Amino acid sequence: MALDIDGYAVLGAIATVPEVFAEIRPDIARTARALVVKQLKHRALPLARLRLIRRTLGAETFALVLDGMTDVEIKAIVARLDRHNATLKTASSAWHRTWLEGLANADEPSAAPKGSRAKAVAKKPAPQRALGKRPFAATWDGKDRDTAAAKGGKKKKKG
What local confidence, expressed as pLDDT, does residue 149 receive? Answer: 62
Residues 74/100, Cβ–Cβ less than 8 Å:
yes
* Distance (Å, whole) CA 84 – CA 109: 8
Helix, strand or coil, per DSSP, at residue 7: helix
What local confidence, expressed as pLDDT, does residue 129 receive? Answer: 62
Instruction: Determine whether 66 is exposed, middle or buried from the number of CB atoms within 10 Å of its CB (0-12, 13-18, 19+).
Output: buried
What local confidence, expressed as pLDDT, does residue 158 receive? Answer: 62
Would you give per-residue pLDDT tens digits along the chain (159 residues)? 568 899 899 999 999 999 999 999 999 999 999 999 999 999 988 988 999 999 999 999 999 999 999 999 999 998 888 888 888 888 888 888 888 888 888 767 666 666 555 554 566 776 666 666 666 666 777 777 776 666 665 555 665
* Distance (Å, whole) CA 40 – CA 75: 12
